[in-house]
Amino acid sequence: MMMLEVDGLSVRYGRLTALRGISLKVDEGQIVCIIGPNGAGKSTTLAAIAGGVGIQSGTVRWRNQVISGLVPEAISRLGLALVPEGRRVFSTLSVEENLLVGTYQRRDRAASSKDLQRALELFPGLRQRIRQPAGRLSGGEQQMLVICRALLTNARLLMMDEPSLGLAPMIIDQVYEMLLDLRRRNGLTLLINEQSSERILEFADHVYVLRNGEIQLSDSAANLQDGKAIESAYFGFDARASNLDLAVGATHGRVHPELR
Amino acid sequence: MVAFIQNCVDALSLGSLYALAALGIGLLFGMLRLINFAHGDFITIGAFGLIVPSRNDMAIMAVGSLPVVLLVPAACAIVVAAALLSDRLVFRPLRTASAPTLMVASFSVGYIIQNTILVTYGARPKTIDLWSSLGEQLHFGAVRVPRLEVVTIAVTLVLLATLTAFLKRTRYGVQIRAAAEDFLMARYLGVRANLAIGVAFALSGLLAAIVSLLFVSETGTLTNVMGVPLMLYAFIATVVGGMGSLVGAVVGGYTVGFLGVMLQAYLPDGLRSFRDAFVFATVVFVLLLRPAGIIPTKALVQRV
């Protein structure tokens, strides 16, 4: 069942065109990944869906209702939550207050405080530091906090912008484990941005490759397991013919084995 | 020693006014990146709201003749209404505008208020008598303190405590603090932008109203630009304290208050008329040592 449908979405920042009419869709319960290099428009895509940046043309539909043009707080109320890049905890607010901000929009106060308790049981690390300013948490704890915070809005679709950015590999594993666990338990739908296809191919249902503001490739993850199609869509030419793959490996440290 | 204690009380009282005014500016800056130069004129509105609108030189009290329990809420209501109206008519249509645009818009709001008052109330300063019994001196041993200063300090402490409780304990307070730190992120989490901003404008108006009552009670004089110097000092207080930090605004307010009173008291006679130059020189010195103010905020760093 179709949950989110983006059709011909274009975004411009002044003279710079960030997205050139991209289309994508997310079915309920799926894990959909957008991968692409820096500056491809991945963050802009998620921000535009969440109402955080104005769009030039195109529509976004949520369960067949047009939501493009709504303000972010209205979109959040429909059950779409965005965890933007760089985590963005409210650093001077306590851990508890950070979590509470996500719950205020809800009418079901009893259920929301129960959800909050349950979230704290899942993350004893957060519970221990519940009164501390969120700015004092480690990067991994902050990532857990912002995911919890987004889920407490009663989200049905969680959009994650580069959840692995700036985290140690072990922590990234934990974050992904948690996301998969959430999908199993709550039937959460996920739309995830990442720079590399590592990890993602293991669990994604569908993959989009985005470059220069355009979708280069759209296929089910099952068809992309060998990585060759992703590779050429990602770089726009056969990377084996150049040293670009080495360069990318050097900057990001970690590339999918298939991309090396 | 007695003189010094008296100076300290004077400084605390003046600093309290600056702190309240600075908080009114700080609340809006944190969320909107708006340096509201009309804040002083909100204070002016609070004062003129007390009298009957007329160009006569004699001021006739209207709201100002009510008993205190009605007068204070009425004055607050007038200023809060003015603050909310300025948001609705001017700042809301400019929500996506840059910080300099907002600042220029706030100057315009200020000039409109000043000139509307000029046209409605006339250009002559008006004298009114608000709570003149507060001018009596209280004796603490050899120290004599005007009752108004004690009231000013006490009212400020109560307001600061109440505001802190509001910001920490209520859902609106938490949302305002979240929005002040990262407005878009707060909206992604469902915080209603216009509600949070409206509450901030209302609080700012409330603080302006209290400042204007305390200030008028002290000076007894109304002019259409009476709030401007207060705004100037309060603005300096927010910069010294650290733009974007509410604690900083209060600390800055008291710092500027103390500087003003102490320099006035202890500068040699010939230099006393240059007091403000010394105040500002000290401010520059503080900013050289701590460019982001006494209490810097991370929220000020612009996000890409």
pLDDT digits (tens, 9 = 90+) for A93-139: 999 999 999 999 988 888 888 888 888 888 888 899 999 999 999 88
CA atoms in the 13 A half-sphere facing the CB of A50: 29
Shortest Cα distance from B174 to chain A (angstroms)? 7
How far is B35 from B243, CA to CA, in rounded Å?
9
- Cβ atoms of B19 and B250 closer than 8 Å: yes
Residue-level length of chain A: 260
CA atoms in the 13 A half-sphere facing the CB of B102: 18
Of B191, B298, B299, the CB nearest to A101: B191
Q: Which of B183, B173, B245, B163 is nearest to A100 (CA)?
A: B173
Nearest-Cα residue of chain B relative to residue A73: B190
> How much is the pLDDT for B239?
92
**φ/ψ of residue B128, rounded to 5:** -130, 160
- Cβ atoms of A104 and A149 closer than 8 Å: no
How many helices and strands in chain B, by DSSP H and E? 11, 4
Where residue A249 falls among pLDDT bands split at 50, 70, 90? Answer: very low
Nearest-Cα residue of chain B relative to residue A76: B190
Where residue A238 falls among pLDDT bands split at 50, 70, 90? Answer: low
Domain that holds residue B211: 2-226
**Domain-located, residue B253:** no
Query: A93–B174: do the CB atoms touch at under 8 Å?
Result: yes
A vs B: CB pairs below 8 A:
72
Q: What is the mean pLDDT of residues B283-299?
A: 84
How far is A160 from A164, CA to CA, in rounded Å?
10
Determine the 3-state secondary structure of A250 from DSSP: helix
* Pair of tokens at residue B105: 């818009």
How far is B269 from A37, CA to CA, in rounded Å?
69
Q: What is the mean pLDDT of residues A247-252?
A: 46
Query: B182–A105: do the CB atoms touch at under 8 Å?
Result: no
What are the tens digits of pLDDT across the range B207-241?
A: 999 999 999 999 989 999 999 999 999 999 999 99
> How much is the pLDDT for B80?
97
Nearest-Cα residue of chain B relative to residue A104: B171
**CB burial of residue A75 (10 Å; 0-12, 13-18, 19+):** buried
How far is B230 from B46, CA to CA, in rounded Å?
13
Query: B190–A100: do the CB atoms touch at under 8 Å?
Result: no
Residues 6+ apart with CB under 8 A from B196: B31, B172, B175, B176, B179, B186
A251 pLDDT higher than 50: no
> How much is the pLDDT for A14?
86
- Cβ atoms of B205 and B198 closer than 8 Å: no
Query: B188–A149: do the CB atoms touch at under 8 Å?
Result: no
Interface check B247 vs A, CB under 8 A:
no
Instruction: Give per-residue burial for B208-247: e unless 16+ CB within 10 Å, then b.
Output: bbbbbbbbbbbeeebbbebbbebbebbbbbbbbbbbbbbb
Shortest Cα distance from B185 to chain A (angstroms)? 7
* Pair of tokens at residue B133: 């019994």
* Pair of tokens at residue B10: 């004077």
Query: A150–B191: do the CB atoms touch at under 8 Å?
Result: no
**Domain-located, residue B99:** yes
Where residue B42 falls among pLDDT bands split at 50, 70, 90? Answer: very high
Interface check B189 vs A, CB under 8 A:
yes
A253 pLDDT higher than 70: no
**CB burial of residue B266 (10 Å; 0-12, 13-18, 19+):** exposed
* Pair of tokens at residue B1: 């020693």
How far is B26 from B138, CA to CA, in rounded Å?
33
Of B186, B297, B299, the CB nearest to A101: B186
Residues 6+ apart with CB under 8 A from A203: A31, A176, A180, A221
Q: What does pLDDT average to over chain B?
A: 91
Task: Look at chain B and report how many structural domains it folds into.
Answer: 1
Helix orientation angle between B246-266 and B227-241, rounded to the nearest 10 degrees = 110
> How much is the pLDDT for A168?
86
Q: What Cα–Cα distance (Å) separates residue A96 from each residue in A27, A116, B177, B251?
A: 32, 9, 13, 27
Query: B189–A91: do the CB atoms touch at under 8 Å?
Result: no
Query: A52–B188: do the CB atoms touch at under 8 Å?
Result: yes
Q: What is the mean pLDDT of residues B12-22?
A: 95
Determine the 3-state secondary structure of B173 from DSSP: helix
Shortest Cα distance from A21 to chain B (angstroms)? 23
Shortest Cα distance from B162 to chain A (angstroms)? 18
Of B174, B182, B191, the CB nearest to A97: B174
**φ/ψ of residue B129, rounded to 5:** -120, 95
Q: What does pLDDT average to over chain A?
A: 86
> How much is the pLDDT for B115?
96
Where residue A70 falls among pLDDT bands split at 50, 70, 90? Answer: very high
DSSP B303: P
What are the tens digits of pLDDT across the range A177-223?
A: 888 888 888 889 999 999 887 788 888 999 999 999 999 989 888 88
B193 pLDDT higher than 80: yes
- Cβ atoms of A88 and B185 closer than 8 Å: yes
Question: Cα(first)–Cα(last) distance of chain A, in Å?
Answer: 37
**Domain-located, residue B126:** yes
Determine the 3-state secondary structure of A64 from DSSP: coil
Interface check B196 vs A, CB under 8 A:
no
Determine the 3-state secondary structure of B146 from DSSP: strand
**φ/ψ of residue B37, rounded to 5:** -75, -5
List, in order of start, the domains of chain A with CATH numbers. Answer: 2-259 (3.40.50.300)
Query: A92–B177: do the CB atoms touch at under 8 Å?
Result: yes
**Domain-located, residue B264:** no
Contact list, B190 vs chain A (CB under 8 Å) = 73, 76-77, 102, 104-105, 153
**φ/ψ of residue A256, rounded to 5:** -60, 135
B249 pLDDT higher than 90: yes
Nearest-Cα residue of chain A relative to residue B179: A90
**Domain-located, residue B243:** no
How far is B194 from B269, CA to CA, in rounded Å?
52
For residue B144, what is the enclosing H or E element?
Answer: strand B143-146
> Model-level pTM?
0.85
A252 pLDDT higher than 50: no
Residues 6+ apart with CB under 8 A from A175: A140, A143, A144, A147, A163, A164, A167
**Domain-located, residue B270:** no
Q: What is the ipTM of this complex?
A: 0.88
Of B178, B192, B297, the CB nearest to A93: B178
Contact list, A101 vs chain B (CB under 8 Å) = 174-175, 178, 186, 189, 191
Backbone dihedral region of A182: left (phi > 0), alpha (psi from -120 to 50 degrees) or beta? Answer: alpha
| Chain A contact probe: residue of B164, B185, B199, B304 with most A CBs at under 10 A | B185
